[in-house]
Amino acid sequence: MPPIDRMLAERACERLIVDFAHRLDLGEPSSVAELFTPDGSWHWPHGARRVEGRDALRAYFASRPSDRLSRRLMTNLLVTVESPTTARATSYLTTYRVDGHPGGMIEPRLPTNVGHYEDTFRLIDGQWLLATRTVHLPFGADTARLSS
């Protein structure tokens, strides 16, 4: 692969990683399904959750509570292009999250989760998409609910 093509593929995959977090935190959570291949999957081995296909992904992420406030910090993005149409990545995440958010600013709190994603990507019709996303959370807690 020419170096410029490799760099463009890496950047496109990095953009997907960041766009995923942005859509969950600041956009429409169900729209993360559009970042996946039609047969894409999201997997959390510890929670024994596996969601496959865009329709199921859309429904899963749309089921987030409407009063949830979350912010994900994505770091240490390492994308490896394996071929002109496939890539993989590892990225670290720190998630701050509460339910029952009435709006406005709240007092800072410890992260809910710290872990990493393992992703695979495929190039389909000129667009890089997530094929699989697996989340590993060695540090985690239930989402706190703010009291009224």
Q: Give the pairing type, strands 127-140 and 36-44.
A: parallel
3-state DSSP assignment of residue 8: helix
Dihedral (C-alpha) 94, 127, 86, 113: value to the nearest 10 degrees? 10
Q: What are phi and psi of 147, to 5 degrees?
A: -80, 150
Amino acid (one-letter) located at 122: R
Q: Which tokens go with 101?
A: 């958010």
Query: Does the structure show a pLDDT above 70 at 148?
Result: no
| Average pLDDT across the chain, whole number | 96
Task: CATH number of the domain at 129, please.
Answer: 3.10.450.50
How far are the Cα atoms of 26, 102, 105, 119 from residue 17, in angstroms, in the given order?
14, 28, 26, 9
Model pLDDT, residue 48: 82
Domain count, the chain: 1
Model pLDDT, residue 82: 98
Read off the pTM: 0.94
How far are the Cα atoms of 10, 28, 39, 84 from residue 87, in angstroms, in the given order?
8, 26, 16, 8
Query: Does the structure show a pLDDT above 90 at 47?
Result: no
Model pLDDT, residue 54: 97
Its domain, for residue 81, covers: 3-145
Return the DSSP state at 31. Answer: G
More confident residue, 73 or 148: 73
Q: What is the mean pLDDT of residues 17-25?
A: 97
* Distance from the first to the final alpha carbon of the chain: 56
3-state DSSP assignment of residue 136: strand
Residue 69 CA to residue 102 CA, distance in Å, equals 9
User: What are 92-117's pLDDT values in tens digits?
Assistant: 999 999 999 999 999 999 999 999 99
